[in-house]
Structure 1
Amino acid sequence: MSERDDEEREFDLKWADGAEHKEPSARARMLAARWKDNPPGPVPFRADPEPRRARRRSPGRAPGRSSWVSTALVFGCVAAVIVLLGYINFRGSA
């Protein structure tokens, strides 16, 4: 763009921002027309939180089994695989 275009654009923005009357957006006009016949009811700033429901257990989880048991089972399997791979490597190199 040339410098002249920038000056004209800046002038247009200043002229538009300085207008005394600004036309509302299409949404604002639509809502004003809708609310003219049927105004909305009062709405609180923040709605009351809904009460929390009790957490349901997953269908695949055994009753009474806590999460640390699952974690211990995974670590045990990983340790068994490491020992097995070490044993295979030890037998293969001899």
Structure 2
Amino acid sequence: MPEQDDEAREFDIKWADGAELKEPSARARMLAARWKENPPEPQPFRAEPEFRARRRSSLRTPRRSAWGSAAIVFGCLAAVILLLGYVNSRGSY
């Protein structure tokens, strides 16, 4: 029985993919209607250099290397393991 369902589903997919005319999505129709009255202004592919430089200088967080971040994570993990071991050894008396 599942084989028949798979074959029917595959047939439906082939039938849908083979359609000569595909209807656009609702968003595509909405944008086409909006752009018919007010076409969008052309946008540059890349931002202008002064915009990118200004954006970078506005970032106030220092950049850390991936190794520095990994060392902090493993250091915290080691500290937690040592703390749990210490608490466990104190409670066994």
Give the TM bin, normalised by the shorter chain.
0.5 to 0.7
Percent identity between the aligned chains?
A: 74
Q: Could you say if the C-alpha distance between residues 38 and 55 of structure 1 is closer, same or farther in structure 2, counting changes exceeding 3 Å?
A: closer
Deviating above 4 A after TM superposition, structure 1's stretches of 4 or more consecutive aligned residues are 53-56
2:54 match: 52
What stretches of structure 2 of length at least 5 have no aligned partner? Answer: 61-93
Change in Cα spacing, 1:41 to 1:55, as seen in structure 2 (3 Å) is: closer
Over 3 Å counting, the alpha-carbon distance change for 1:54 and 1:44 in structure 2 is closer
What do you get for the CA RMSD once the two structures are aligned?
2.6
Show structure 1 runs of 5+ residues with no match: 59-94
Cα displacement (A) at 1:52: 2.7
Q: Name the TM-score, length of structure 2 as normaliser.
A: 0.53
3-state SS of paired residue (1:52): helix
- In structure 2, how many angstroms separate the alpha carbons of the residues matched to 1:48 and 1:21? 40
Give the structure 1 partner of residue 20 of structure 2. Answer: 20
The structure with the greater share of residues assigned to helix is 2
Query: Shift of the alpha carbon at 1:26?
Result: 1.0
> How many correspondences in the alignment?
57
* Separation in structure 1 between the aligned mates of residue 31 and residue 17 of structure 2, nearest angstrom: 24
